């Protein structure tokens, strides 16, 4: 039996997906929006779908929720996962999906999967617990664990080929190698913060651009913890800041096979870390396996320290960097990491670049594609009401009014009296427009 809150969310989702214009249904949805739990303007999270293993949500499995998504997903869909153990493999092919757990340590997605077993008996889902083949995916506040028991063999927890992947406040765990493998080597961009990563060989191994902050790494074997591949573009880099590395006695910090670029800033290492610098793997007996070295050795450190004493190889050398980028520590941010093409830490709300009045219609041109939440309704300072008409997933949104509109109606900001406008692109902070829209161009 669904609770009133759950039924309210169901009505919101029903309205959102079917684009129903019935006046009666709009009023029904508005009635449920008055509950504080559901009120978007009250600052509570908005969930499109609820997954609960005990049957109290919309689906009992995450796979069921993902399979219910449209083939082409233009708006951000938030799948809220209640505490529980979800023993399943997941494949995400739709863009703009957020998997949001109820609590980091008690919302657990797990599966036993060796990479070699998958290669020998392939399924469509993929070789990892979570397989990401889409852009702008967010994993937040949950645990992803590959439960295969052996230390060492390849065993992905998360594997992906998309770009703009965000993982925040998560545990990503495996006893095998390649725990977190985001491998879009051409244009992959990944952001991770406040996470705990655990595994053995190369257990965090991005290809492309990656920024990791305020996280912990634990190496289960006397092998390298981090790995990077950045041969498709000179600027591809792995930046790790304000993070801590630990592991078994004698673990290595990192290595690479392809051209790579490592930045470690304000990081701490346990006394168990071996006195072995990040190194390039060479196969002396099989030279044909060696990858070309085009960009040279690029390992940069700033204010890194090891318990029990520092090693010379990670002494500060950032200001001695001689290639063309030559950054200072103040310059190295997430946005810099991604060459200014993506700022996952942006706090700027969507803004209007232009607007147009067409009799009873208001056409708003925003600077980015947007998600429409709830029964989006505006009110001008002159008292005119405008209801959302079209534009989901686009940067142009059209509203209609029962009254003719003039420029005088819009010489002040427009108030949002119901619903909300949220960005589509993956970012960390809440950038939702909930109260008003600034028309001062």
pLDDT of 115 higher than 70: yes
Instruction: Express each pLDDT in 19-38 by its tens digit.
Output: 333 333 333 333 333 333 33
For residues 337 and 301, what is the distance between their CA atoms, to the nearest angstrom?
15
φ and ψ of 200, to 5 deg: -115, -110
pLDDT of 354 higher than 90: yes
The share of the chain scoring above pLDDT 90, in percent, equals 83
The DSSP H or E segment spanning 387 is strand 385-390
Instruction: For residue 138, name the pLDDT band (cuts at 50, 70, 90).
Output: very high
Instruction: Express each pLDDT in 291-332 by its tens digit.
Output: 888 999 999 999 999 999 999 999 999 876 455 556 889 999
> Average pLDDT for residues 38-42, to the nearest whole number?
31
Instruction: For residue 13, name the pLDDT band (cuts at 50, 70, 90).
Output: very low
Half-sphere exposure of 268 (CA within 13 A, CB side): 9
180 strand-pairing partners: 158, 204
Instruction: Express each pLDDT in 329-338 by its tens digit.
Output: 999 999 999 9
Stretch among 75-79, 287-291, 437-441 having the lowest mean pLDDT: 437-441
pLDDT given at position 65:
98
Q: Note the CATH number of domain 76-337.
A: 2.160.20.10
Average pLDDT, the chain: 90
CA distances from 10 to 14, 36, 249, 254 (A): 6, 16, 52, 47
pLDDT given at position 45:
65
Instruction: Express each pLDDT in 75-84 by its tens digit.
Output: 999 999 999 9
For residues 103 and 184, what is the distance between their CA atoms, to the nearest angstrom?
29
**Domain spans of the chain, in order of start:** 76-337, 352-437
Nearest to 158 by CA among 127, 187, 116: 127
Taking domain 352-437, whether its CATH number is 2.60.40 is answered by: yes
For residues 381 and 281, what is the distance between their CA atoms, to the nearest angstrom?
66
């Amino acid at each position: 039996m669904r609770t009133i809150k759950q039924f309210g969310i169901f009505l919101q989702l029903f309205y959102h997906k079917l684009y129903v214009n019935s006046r009666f249904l709009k009023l029904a949805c508005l009635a449920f929006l008055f509950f504080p739990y559901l009120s978007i303007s009250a600052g509570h999270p908005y969930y499109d779908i609820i997954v609960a293993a005990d049957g109290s949500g919309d689906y009992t499995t995450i796979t069921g929720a993902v399979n219910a998504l449209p083939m082409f997903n233009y708006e951000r869909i938030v799948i809220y996962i209640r505490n529980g153990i979800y023993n399943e493999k997941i494949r995400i092919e739709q863009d703009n999906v957020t998997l949001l757990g109820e609590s980091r340590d008690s919302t657990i997605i797990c599966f036993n999967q060796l990479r070699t077993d998958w290669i020998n008996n392939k399924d469509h889902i993929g070789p990892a617990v979570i397989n990401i083949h889409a852009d702008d995916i967010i994993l937040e506040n949950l645990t992803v664990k590959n439960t295969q028991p052996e230390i060492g063999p390849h065993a992905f927890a998360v594997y992906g080929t998309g770009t703009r992947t965000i993982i925040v406040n998560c545990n990503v765990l495996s006893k095998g190698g390649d725990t977190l493998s985001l491998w879009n080597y051409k244009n992959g961009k990944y952001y991770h913060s406040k996470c705990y990563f655990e595994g053995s060989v190369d257990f965090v191994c991005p290809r492309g651009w990656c920024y990791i902050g305020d996280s912990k790494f634990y190496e289960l074997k006397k092998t390298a913890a981090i790995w990077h591949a950045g041969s498709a573009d000179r600027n591809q880099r792995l930046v790790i800041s304000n993070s801590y590395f630990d592991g078994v006695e004698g673990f290595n910090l990192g290595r690479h096979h392809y051209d790579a670029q490592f930045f470690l800033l304000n990081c701490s290492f346990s006394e168990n870390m071996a006195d072995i610098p990040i190194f390039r793997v060479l196969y002396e007996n099989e030279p044909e396996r060696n990858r070309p070295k085009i960009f040279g050795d690029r390992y940069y450190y700033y204010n890194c320290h090891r318990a029990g004493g520092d090693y010379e190889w990670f002494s500060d050398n950032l200001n001695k960097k001689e290639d063309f980028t030559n950054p200072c520590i103040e310059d190295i941010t997430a946005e810099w990491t991604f060459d200014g093409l993506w700022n996952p830490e942006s706090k700027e709300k969507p803004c209007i670049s232009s607007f147009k009045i067409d009799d009873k219609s208001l056409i708003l041109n925003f600077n980015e594609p947007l998600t429409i939440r709830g029964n989006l309704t505006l009110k001008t300072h002159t008292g005119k009401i405008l209801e959302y008409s079209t534009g989901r997933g686009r940067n142009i949104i059209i509203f209609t009014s029962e009254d003719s509109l003039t420029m005088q109606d819009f010489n002040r900001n427009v108030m949002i009296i119901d619903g909300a406008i949220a960005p589509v692109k993956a970012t960390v902070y809440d950038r939702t427009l909930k109260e008003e829209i600034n028309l001062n161009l």
